[in-house]
Amino acid sequence: MTHRLVAVLLALAVPACLAGTDDKGEESALPEDGGADSFRSPTEHGPIGFVTPVLGELTAQAGYHTWDFTLSGPAALVLATAPPTPTGRKVDTVLYLYREGAGGWGRYLARNDDANGKVWSELRRTLDAGHYRVLVKGYDTTTRGRFAVSAACTGDGCAPPAPTCLLGATYADWRDGAMLWGQRRISDAAELTALERDQVVLAAAQSSHDDVTTAEAALARFDERAVNVVEATTAGTWLVAMEYGAGDNSFGAIFYGNTLELAASIQDGDLYGCTLTPPEGGAGLGQACRADSDCPSSARCRGVTAGFGVCAPLADVPTDGQDCSSDAACGAGALCHGVTRGGGLCGPAWMRGRFDQPVALALADAGETRTHVTSYGLATVDTDVTVHLRASHTDRRQLTVYLRNPAGTEVRVWDGATASAGTSISLDAPVLGFSGDESVNGSWVLRVVDRAAGGTGSLTRWGLTLGSRWD
């Protein structure tokens, strides 16, 4: 009799326990099939770590929360929601897992509502390498409250993937993909600057020639006693390569501009020790990108030129298109474009950029010296062009300076024939003469012409501030 009573009580108790989780009606706001599976513009919190839980709160304004993580290989994941504190109240969460594909996040891989007889959620999955998203929502659209979400990871894939080298895997990758602006083959150390001589010595050490201490000794070890000096920009970064042959193989080093800091070592044609990598977690707003996928979901990769653009926000600025006479008039996230040409209009701040070339060049006597900067990440046509230039010459009146835009239009920016006597040129001034209807992204060439023999000079640095708009 006692055993029969216990059995009856147990039978009655089971449905009662389950009623708190299963007998609660249909889940609200179920995901749609296909690519629209992103749940009404969720609140994106960024990467979730595999150690410390993160917190979120379901509110009337924020009912969907996402975090993402990347696996470099196979791994076992336990994803779970829980109270944010030991005394936190119950919040009926639903947990979704997605994997990013070519078309975006697509349909969810897995879903859990109630785990272990509770209103909290848990997913256990073995996953392959890839980029994943965790989404937490309430079971009902009226569900409110704070929660914690954790991601426990076991396996080799938990380690972050090695950062991508923006230079490529080989020297040929870099040379073919970069924006080249100078290339010399040097067989006489006297043709090298003092800094370049030091760079050649360091480049020699990347093979077996770590005992050389002078550029002359280094050249004597190289095939054909020569080194290739290549200057280019990658991701807006000025780089100088010292590359040479050694036994029919390519060796050397790629440096950060006029420094002795290595961007990569060239060994048998491959690149090692690359330090030019994307920012951790991808490119942020205003940073260099190759494609939209490099940028946050709220941005796009704009003005891609020579393989690189800039992550620009999608959101419009409130003052876009309004008349202005200064940047201050346009408010946050906007600048006054076209003001140097007499008619300013407010536009997004990302449509203006500064591009500098810090290289010091000796000016050719009674000849022409050329150099360039590459602009990228802007809109399509220019609204303002401001030149920044520092140069010196024993008689600056001998010099004429020209600027050519990516479309090939050239404008004179300095005319020594009308200048007073002096030895220096310092410009920070708008350049007038461009139509404002030609390409703004690309190579801008500066020409310094010495019209008479005699005297010496140098171009210390130069750059441009460019404003832009959509054509």
Tell which residue, 399, 398, 413, 400, has the closest CA to residue 444: 413
CB 108 within 8 A of CB 98: yes
- Residues 6 or more apart from 394 whose CB is under 8 A from it? 423, 454, 455, 456, 457
Greater confidence, 30 or 456? 456
* pLDDT tens per residue, range 161-192: 667 788 999 999 999 888 787 889 999 999 99
35 is written with which tokens?
Answer: 């690519």
**Strand spans (E) along 236-360:** 237-246, 249-256, 262-267, 270-272, 288-289, 299-305, 308-313, 323-324, 334-337, 344-348, 352-357
pTM over 0.85: no
Could you tell me which residue, 104 or 266, shows the higher pLDDT? 266
End-to-end C-alpha distance for the chain, whole angstroms:
90
Tokens 């003005």 belong to 303
Span 434-453, mean pLDDT?
93
Whole-number Cα distances in Å, 465 to 119, 352, 356 = 57, 7, 9
Question: Would strands 93-99 and 130-138 be described as parallel, antiparallel, or unpaired?
Answer: antiparallel
Q: Which residue has the tokens 């994307």?
A: 278
Among 415, 423, 413, 411, smallest CA distance to 458 is for 423
Strands 410-415 and 368-375: unpaired
Neighbours of 331 (CB within 10 A): 14
Ranking 26-30, 135-139, 274-278, 380-384 by mean pLDDT, the lowest is 26-30
Q: Measuring CA to CA, how many Å separate 15 from each of 18, 24, 113, 118, 462?
A: 5, 13, 18, 14, 78
Digit-coded pLDDT (tens) for 388-437: 999 999 999 999 999 999 888 999 999 999 999 999 999 999 999 999 99
Q: Which two tokens stand for residue 415?
A: 């005319």
Is residue 20 scored above 60 in pLDDT? no
Per-residue pLDDT reduced to its tens digit, 59-110:
988 889 999 998 989 999 999 999 988 777 899 999 999 999 877 888 899 9
